Structure formats: structure tokens, C-alpha cells
Structure 1
Amino acid sequence: MIEVEGLTKRYGEKMAVNQLTFAVRPGIVTGFLGPNGAGKSTTMRMMLGLDRPTAGDVRIDGEHYDRLKDPLTYIGALLDAKAMHGGRSAFNHLLCLAQSNGIPRGRVHEVLDTVGLTAVAKKKAKGFSLGMGQRLGIAGALLGDPRILMFDEPVNGLDPEGIHWIRNLMKSLAAQGRTVFVSSHLMSEMALTADHLVVIGQGRLLADTSMADFIRENSRSYVRIRSPQRELLLDVLHRDGIVVVETGVGTLEVDGYRPEDIGELAARNGITLHELSPQQASLEEAFMQLTAESVEYHAHTGAPLGAPPPPLPGEQPGPPAPGPRWGNDWKKG
């Protein structure tokens, strides 16, 4: 288990992490989400003793990281796939880690096989693709057979087969009773992998809840209905005091009722239904809803960079801004 209590990190005037308190429990995959600049990487670095907190505490199975003997046997982490000596082979990179933590040499062969790198074990890491580097980093995290695993963007650079593999690996590790903590910006992948979510924004805790509860609490759920007897269905729904949203594309939307309730009501009134389906927002939509006010970096669509601003009401547009000079213009200086 990872226990975070009042964790705070300040860089000068910048508050990167602000009074975070949560626990990462064994037996489930816990997703760690937040917009860019939310403090996720800083938090994970403090968990591993790479950054010293300004205030607060982090414990790994009840101990501070710097007090763990052979820490790779307690917690394995992938924070940066490039954090390796490029001149070493994959085998020697892992062997150095193993020897520093009292891990048997035979374990290196086991994890190379687990991540699918046995065939390139003797190749230097500097020649690895991004995906191969990710696999080697995951092998390093697994090396000590730890009870706690921490992954930052583990699917980065992996092909579809690799993404499927790491997803199943994380689920398998959690099913063994291990603690699995994973940060990712890929919402679709997180929705398929995580059971629980910890969400932060601008360094503060925004949510610490199950995946299902997070989506339900931060998005709209409704029942979508289509019927060839639309007007009759509207009359019946209104008569029962059910508020209906007409979408203008032939479907109706009803909040606060189960599909079963609507189906039984339609059946009692002899109404044919062509669609009766529960609708719920995706994890991405729920995340965007919750973190809308915590996003630090906003991109904007519209006019290209360098374009003049649109004219004010009643103002005539001015001449276009001069562009780059081509042809013989360069001779004029």
C-alpha cells in the first residue's frame, strides 16, 4: 500500500502539489489522472524519494522509501523509459539493478522473457525503439518481484499488441493482490484498465473514488428512446410527469429513470419502441467536466498564428499583413 498524507511541494512561488492525501490500495489498479501541470509527476517522484516534499508524508508499506532495504523488492517503478545507460545491453542494464538490490541473476532472464525482450537481451539499449525502451523499463519495475508497482505513461510507444499486453499485465498484477498505481493521459485505455481513480488538478485532490462512481458523479446519464409512435409516447411520458428532452433528430432523452421503467410504461400503453438504451458519458467526458477549471494550458482553434484580429463591428477590414518575401525580394534586403 502507498499512503500519502498532506503531501505538499513548493518551488519558489509555485505550489506544485498542495496538501494531497490519499491511499493506493492492493488488489486493484488505481489510475492517477490530472491535466498537464497538475502535479502528477512531482507526486510520483516524491513517492520514490526523488524529490523531497515541502511538507507531508509518503509511506511505502508503512515505511519511508529511503528506509527500505533493497527497495526494488518493495516497489518497482517506471517513470522514464529513457532512464538507462544507452551503452549497456538490456541484460546488463537489468543485471546492474539486480546486483544493487540483492536480486538473483536468474531473475533478469525471467523478466526479459515476461516483457518479450529475450531475443534482444544482448543489444545495447541506445538502439531500442521507444516501445522497446518501455518494455525494458517495465522489466526493471518487475525485477524485484515487488508488491507495489508504479507506472507513468506505460503504453507510450507501444503498438496495439503491446498496449493489450501491458493492460492485461497490470490487471494480472492487481489480481495477485499487488498494489498497482498507473498514470496516463490515454483516457480510453485508463477506462479499460483502472478500477479506482485518484484525480488531481493544480496540485489539489479533486477525486478519490471508483471508476463507476467517478463517471456517474461527473457526467449526465440518461435513457435514449426512439419510437414510430413518438407523439403518443410524448403524451404518455408527460402525463406521468416525466421530463423529456427532444433532440431534434427523432430521439427522446429522459433523465432519472431506468430503461426498465420506460419500457414497462410504453408496454402498458401499447407503444412500440425501436430503441431504449441507457447512455453514460465516457471517462474522458467526465474527466473534462471535473477538471475544466483546473487546466493550466489552454489551446485555441481559429485563426492561424500571425493572422490579424477580426475587425470590430462596423469597422472595415484592413489590408492583409505582409507575408514572407519570395522571388527576387530577398535581394532587396
Structure 2
Amino acid sequence: MIELAGLTKRYGEKVAVNRLTFTVRPGVVTGFLGPNGSGKSTTMRMILGLDHPTAGDVRIDGKHYDRLKDPLTYIGALLEAKAWHGGRSAYHHLLCLAQSNGIPRQRVGEVLETVGLTAVARKKTKGFSLGMGQRLGIAAALLGDPRILMFDEPVNGLDPEGIHWIRTLMKTLAAQGRTVFVSSHLMSEMALTADHLVVIGQGRLLADTSMADFVERNAGSRVRIRTPQRERLLDVLHGAGLTVVETGSGAFEVAGSAPERIGELAAQHRLVLHELSTQQPSLEEAFMRLTAESVEYHAHADAAAGGQRWGDGWGRG
């Protein structure tokens, strides 16, 4: 279990992390989301003792990271995909980590097999692709068979097979009762992987809830309707106090109402429906709505379209 209590980090006048308090519990995959510059990486670094908090506290199974004996046996982490010496082989990189943490040599071969790197175990890592580097970083995280695992952008550089593999691995680890904490910008992947979400913006906690509750609370489901009697049905729905949104595809959607109620209204007025379906919102929609006021770096499409802007302001080197 990872416990944060009032965790704060300042760099001069900038507050990167602002009094974060939450708990990452075992048995579920907890997703860690936030816009760029929200403080996610700083928070993860403080969990691992790589940065020291200005205020507050963070504990790993009740202890500070620097108090853990053989820390790889408590928590394994993937933060930097290529945090190794390029002149070493994958095997010897992991062997060094194992020997420094009291981990048996045989474990090196086991994790190499788990991540699919056995065939290149004796090759120097400087020739590894980004995806191979990700697999080696994951192997290092698994090396001590820890109860807690933390991954930052674990699917970066992986092919579709690799993405499916890491998704299944994280779910399997959580099912074993381990604590799994994962940060990613890929909303579609997070939606398939995480059971619980912690969302931050500008260093502050915005949400700490289940995936289903987060999406429902911040986006809400809608009911999609198609009918050959559009005008009559629109009159009925407006008369019932429902808000209708045109979709531009010959259908319209209603928010804040169950499909059963709409179906009953249509039946009462003898209206024909060609479609009546619930449209589940996406994690991306919910995330964008919640964090709209917390985005630090805004891109503007018109700036990219107008070539003159690049040369006039900061495009010249």
C-alpha cells in the first residue's frame, strides 16, 4: 500500500504538488491521471525517495522509502525506460540490481522470460529499441517479486501484442493482491486497465474514485434516438422537460434520462422508434471535462495552420 498525506513539493515559488492525500490500495489497478505539468512525475519521484517533499509524508507499507531494506523486494518501479548502462547486457543489468538487493541470481532468468527478452538477454542494451527498453524496465520492476508496483507510461514503444501483454500483466498482479499504480496519457488503454482512478491537476487532487463512478459523474450517459417522426417526438420530449441535442447524423441524444422513460413516452404517444440505445461516455470525455481548468499548456490549431506565426515569433533558430 502507498499512503500520501499532505504531500507537497515546491520549486522556488512554483508549487508542483499541493497537499496531496490519497491511498493506493492492493488488489486493484489504480490509474494516475493528470494533464502535462500536473505533478504526476514529481509525485512518483517522491514516492521513491528520488525527490524530497517540501511538506507532508509518503509511506510504502508504512515505511519511508529510505527505511526499506532491499527496496526492490517492497516496490518495483518503471519511471525511466532507459535507466541503464548501454555497455551492459540485459542479463548483467538485472544481475547487478539483484545482487545489490539480496535477490537470488535465478530470478534474473525468470523475469527475462516473463517479459520476453530471453533471446536477447546477453546482448548489450545500447542496441535495444524503445519497446525492448520498456520490457527491460518492467523486468527490473518485477525483479524483487514486490508487493507494490509502479509504472509510468508502461506501454510507450510497445507494439499491439506488447500492449495487450502489459495490460494483462498488470491485471494479473492486482488479482494476486498486489498494489499496482500506473500513470499514462493513453485514455483508451487506461479505460481498459484501471479499476480505480486518482486524478490531479496543477498539483491538487481532483478525483479519487472508481473508474465507473468517475466517468458517470464527470460525463454522464446519454440516450440515442432515431425515429421517422422527429418533430412529434421532439415536442413530446420537450414537453416532458428533457434536453435534446442534435447529433447531425439523423439522430438526437437526451442526457439525464433513462431509456425506459423515453420508450414509455414514445409508446404513450404512439411514436415509432428505430433506435433507442444508451451511449456510454468515454474516459477521455470525463477527463477532459474535469481537468479543463487545470491544463497548463494549451495548443492552438490556428497557430499551426498559419505558417507566418512560426517565423514571426519563435520559429527561427
Class of the TM-score when normalised by the shorter of the 2 chains: over 0.9
| Deviation string, structure 1 residues 60-83 (Cα, Å, up to 9, x no partner) | 011111111111111000000110
In structure 2, the CA distance between the partners of 1:122 and 1:217, relative to structure 1 (3 Å rule), is same
Mapped to 2, the partners of 1:268 and 1:219 lie a distance apart of 30
Letter aligned with residue 221 of structure 1? S
Mapped to 2, the partners of 1:187 and 1:308 lie a distance apart of 31
| Deviation string, structure 1 residues 272-312 (Cα, Å, up to 9, x no partner) | 21111112321112111111111111111215566279xxx
- Percent of aligned positions with the same letter in both sequences? 82
In structure 2, the CA distance between the partners of 1:261 and 1:51, relative to structure 1 (3 Å rule), is same
In structure 2, the CA distance between the partners of 1:50 and 1:243, relative to structure 1 (3 Å rule), is closer
Worse overlay, 199-208 or 251-260: 251-260
Matching residue of 1:40: 40
The two structures have a TM-score, normalised by structure 2, of 0.93
In structure 2, the CA distance between the partners of 1:247 and 1:187, relative to structure 1 (3 Å rule), is closer
Mapped to 2, the partners of 1:36 and 1:164 lie a distance apart of 25
**2:200 counterpart of 1:200:** yes
Letter aligned with residue 117 of structure 1? L
Q: CA deviation at 1:246?
A: 4.1
Q: CA deviation at 1:236?
A: 3.5
In structure 2, the CA distance between the partners of 1:255 and 1:57, relative to structure 1 (3 Å rule), is same
Matching residue of 2:315: none
**2:265 counterpart of 1:265:** yes
**2:146 counterpart of 1:146:** yes
> Structure 1, unaligned stretches of length 5 or more?
310-320, 322-333
Mapped to 2, the partners of 1:145 and 1:222 lie a distance apart of 44
| Deviation string, structure 1 residues 157-196 (Cα, Å, up to 9, x no partner) | 0001000100110011111111000001111111111111
Matching residue of 1:165: 165
Mapped to 2, the partners of 1:263 and 1:24 lie a distance apart of 42
- Report runs of 4+ in structure 1 exceeding 6 Å deviation: none
Map 1:239-318 onto structure 2 (within 5 A). Answer: 239-247=239-247, 249-304=249-304, 307=308
Mapped to 2, the partners of 1:117 and 1:156 lie a distance apart of 17
Q: Of the two, which has the highest radius of gyration?
A: 1
SS of the residue 1:245 aligns to: strand
Matching residue of 1:69: 69
| Deviation string, structure 1 residues 207-238 (Cα, Å, up to 9, x no partner) | 11111111112124321100122233234334
Letter aligned with residue 19 of structure 2? Q
Letter aligned with residue 308 of structure 2? A
Map 1:1-333 onto structure 2 (within 5 A). Answer: 1-247=1-247, 249-304=249-304, 307=308
Matching residue of 1:331: none
Letter aligned with residue 230 of structure 2? R
The two structures have a TM-score, normalised by structure 1, of 0.89
| Deviation string, structure 1 residues 5-32 (Cα, Å, up to 9, x no partner) | 0001111111111101000011110011
SS of the residue 1:302 aligns to: helix
> Structure 2, unaligned stretches of length 5 or more?
313-317
Mapped to 2, the partners of 1:228 and 1:306 lie a distance apart of 47
Mapped to 1, the partners of 2:239 and 2:297 lie a distance apart of 48
Worse overlay, 113-122 or 300-309: 300-309
In structure 2, the CA distance between the partners of 1:223 and 1:74, relative to structure 1 (3 Å rule), is same
